[in-house]
Amino acid sequence: MSDLPHQTATGRAPRVLVGQIFQEAHGFTPLRTPLEAFAIERGEEVIAQNLQADSVLGGILRTGVAAGWELVPSIAARASPGGRVTDAAYDHILSALLQAARSGPLDAIALCLHGCIQTESLDSAEADLLHRLREIVGPRVPIVAGFDLHGHAGGGMLEYLDFASAYKTNPHGDAAATGERVATVLAGMLKGELRPVGMQVLVPMLTGGNDETGSGPLLRLHTLARERVAADPRLLDASIFNVNPFIDGAGVGQTLLVYATGAEGRDSAAALAETLAEGIWSARAEFTHALPTLEEVLAQARGRVVLGDFGDRVLAGAPGDSLFLARQVLARHPALRVVAPVTDPAALMLCQQAGAGAQVTLPVGWSITRAEAPLQLEGTVLATGVGVYRNRGAFMRGATLQVGEYAVLQAGRATLLITRNPLMSQDPGCFLDLGIDLDGADVIVVKSGYHFKLAFGDWGDCVCIATPGLTVFDPTTLDLQKARPLYPLDAPEFHARAVPARSTQFDFTTGRQDFGNAYEQSGG
């Protein structure tokens, strides 16, 4: 059977399966991500709830509707970054996707994936689910996907994709554009106009900071990639995957992925992938940053500030159980009022038992990591419930995210949003949709390092703060084994050599993929 992309019969709308599985792992947190942590839509609700969302899925859906596709919805499942997904949760979500794939003949599959989901048994859930889909639909049905640029592209998932593209921005303001891009490429494939050929290079390094795309080395590299693709009609797309640095697994590193429009552009794609790989490798020492302290920021503040708790970033998989910044504000700045989220199941239960309106005295904070003694607080339970919120800012605007069980506690100058599970707090919707007043706050704490800047700009000056926690980048504290050798832990020699994105054989549960790159361990 030919392995060329399938072309639909004239006069029939292409049947395209669509879906989303979106979560990002932190491989070194004690937490696990259960099924109840996911916001889930099924069947036609996948389309109804996500058609207008500024997400990869929203971009795919709108492009598909405009192209006249018959959309076959499967499941849309989104959870906050955090610990490995439980096997039971993954199996439940995966079964819905596979059932839809078996429901009838398909012309294509288009997915919104993060790229860095790990489960209790898998180092790359995306590689597993794409492998299973490929087994169902065979080699001729195109499968395309849009990814977060922090995806683990070296984990084996590219082997099963005809086209993959990542965000070009960090903070991520182009999720919808990424979905539109992969769907537009798929439309060209279904018409027989495109036969993408991907070339990739894996670079054995992690980035530890200075990794926003609007400045520094990534601005230079993305500008080069964009200019080279625009100047060469044989090139289709270039993605720079800056893998989440808080996971272990085979193929962890920076993946430079370039697609040509067809086989005639293979050499051009390889050349650009190698150029980008050499560029990021040569800039490896630049990926560090020095963040200000709370005192430095408040000394210069002229109004409300929104503080990114960099060491306890839920958006990078931390538990979100630290009240470090709230504690500092309360202890040192008696005139300031602070709003902060915190993961604390025990404190939540006490608030739930007391009920809204009750006066409570309780310990709050560090219930998971035990990194510090909790705050001893007296206050009023303003509300309890089970909630969701809708993103208002540019990052995934319109998408509904799970809050789960929560309580709002007013303790003097502190308003705390206490949750059972880690909460993505990069968007004001997480507070506003639960009735928390931000207008009265002098300091708003969020568990985000980058993306909150896209949503909180109207609420105050947005600044990342140096804080302790599991998302402080210090690879010497991480038990990295499968990923090594890896800079900055090791000193591997590296010379870029591009290989096809779909030529590898890989066991994504235990193995190390051979990308053909010439790098060796040359020192500790």
**144 and 57 fall within a common domain:** yes
List of residues 6+ apart from 378 with CB closer than 8 A: 359, 360, 361, 411, 412
Q: Cite the DSSP H helix spans in 191-286.
A: 216-231, 266-282
163-166, strands of its sheet edge to edge: 39-42, 70-78, 15-22, 108-113, 143-147, 163-166
Q: Does a structural domain hold residue 486?
A: no
182 and 304 inside one domain: no
Alpha-carbon distance values, 401 to 9, 62, 390, 423, 496 (Å): 39, 20, 6, 9, 40
Both tokens of residue 393? 């800012």
Same domain, 69 and 183: yes
- Looking at 449, 465, 481, the residue that finishes a domain is 465
**Does 481 map to a domain?**
no
pLDDT value of residue 399: 85
Contact criterion met (CB below 8 Å) for 183 and 151? no
278 plus 310 within the same structural domain: no
Q: Looking at the domain assignment, is residue 483 inside a domain?
A: no
Nearest to 262 by CA among 197, 200, 192, 186: 197
Whether 275 is covered by a domain: the verdict is: yes
Q: How many CB atoms lie within 10 A of CB 12?
A: 9
Task: Let me know whether 271 and 321 are in one domain.
Answer: no
168 secondary structure, DSSP code:
S
* Structure token digits, residue 459: 């609420």
Same-domain pairing of 166 and 35: yes
Q: On the CB side of 91, how many CA atoms lie within 13 Å of its CA?
A: 5
Q: Which residues pair with 75 in a beta bridge?
A: 42
Identify whether 2 is part of a domain.
no
| Same domain as 231, residue 315 | no
Residues 267 and 187 in one domain: yes
Residues 67 and 211 in one domain: yes
Structure confidence at residue 476 (pLDDT): 87
Best CA proximity match to 470, nearest among 427, 425, 422, 428: 422
Q: Are residues 281 and 421 in the same domain?
A: no
Write out pLDDT tens, residues 219-231.
999 999 999 999 9
Q: 298 and 186 in one domain? A: no
Those residues whose C-beta lies under 8 Å from the C-beta of residue 353, and which sit 6 or more positions away, are: none
Q: What is the pLDDT of residue 8?
A: 53
- Whether 418 maps to a domain, the answer reads yes
Task: Specify the pLDDT at position 513.
Answer: 35
Which of 134, 139, 105 lies closest to 9, judged by CA? 105
- DSSP-based three-state secondary structure for 403: strand
- Is there a single domain that holds both residue 308 and residue 191? no
Per-residue pLDDT of the chain (524 residues; tens, 9 = 90+): 234 444 454 568 999 999 999 999 999 999 999 999 999 999 999 999 999 999 999 999 999 999 999 999 999 999 999 999 999 999 999 999 999 999 999 999 999 999 999 999 999 999 999 999 999 999 999 999 999 999 999 999 999 999 999 999 999 989 999 999 999 999 999 999 999 999 999 999 999 888 999 999 999 999 999 999 999 999 999 999 999 999 999 999 999 999 999 999 999 999 999 999 999 999 999 999 899 999 999 999 999 999 999 999 999 999 999 999 999 999 999 999 999 999 999 999 999 999 999 999 999 999 999 999 999 999 999 999 999 999 998 888 888 889 999 999 999 999 999 999 999 999 999 999 999 999 999 999 999 998 999 999 999 999 999 999 999 988 888 999 999 999 999 999 999 999 999 974 444 443 333 333 332 333 33
Phi, psi of 164 (to 5 degrees): -135, 140
- Unique residue bearing structure tokens 């693709």: 229
> Does residue 8 sit within a domain?
no
pLDDT digits (tens, 9 = 90+) for 258-293: 999 999 999 999 999 999 999 999 999 999 989 999
Show the domain range for 59: 15-286+492-517
Residue with tokens 């597993």: 128
Residue 395 is predicted with a pLDDT of: 84
How many structural domains comprise the chain? Answer: 2
3-state secondary structure 250-264: CCCCEEEEEEECCHH
Look at residue 523 and tell me if it is in a domain: no
Find the DSSP H helices in 119-174: 125-137
